[in-house]
Amino acid sequence: MGLCSCDGMALTKHKTEWHEAATAPKDKIILADVGWPWPVPCMWDAEVNEWSVALLNAETHDEKGRGVVVWWETEYERTIKAWTEMPSLPVQKGHK
């Protein structure tokens, strides 16, 4: 398929291959282009008949950046523009 809204982001050292939205698998987590400047992890939610998108949030509780709280939120998208496989995480030497 080629380019997507978030092609400016380098996810990995290799070129990301984007696929047509209609071919997106609905049985696993994928990275999706939902129109934001970055790809987002998402998975099909058959119960609500929409894509469930994972959003990472973080905020601090004082002006010096202390007391950082990090949490995930879920949003739903009826459609995605394109999708790609989740990249595998590199394994460090000595770890399995």
In-domain check, residue 54: yes
Query: Does residue 76 fall inside a structural domain?
Result: yes
Q: Answer whether residue 3 is part of any domain.
A: no
Q: How confident is the model at residue 7 (pLDDT cuts 50, 70, 90)?
A: low
Query: How many domains would you assign to the chain?
Result: 1
The model's pTM is 0.70
Residues 4 and 34 sit within 8 Å (Cβ to Cβ): no
The answer as to whether 92 is a domain residue is: no
User: Is 9 domain-assigned?
Assistant: no
For residue 67, the SS3 value is coil
Domain that holds residue 29: 19-84
Q: Going by C-beta distance under 8 Å and a sequence separation of 6 or more, which residues neighbour residue 83?
A: 18, 19, 21, 23, 24, 30, 31, 32, 33
Name every residue whose Cβ is closer than 8 Å to that of residue 72 and which is 6 or more positions away in sequence: 54, 55, 56, 57
44 part of a folded domain: yes
**Per-residue model confidence as pLDDT tens digits over 14-71:** 568 999 999 999 999 999 999 989 899 999 999 999 999 998 888 888 777 678 888 9
Residue 91: band (very low, low, confident or very high) from pLDDT cuts 50, 70, 90 = confident
Any domain includes 91: no
Task: Determine the average pLDDT of the residues in 71-93.
Answer: 87
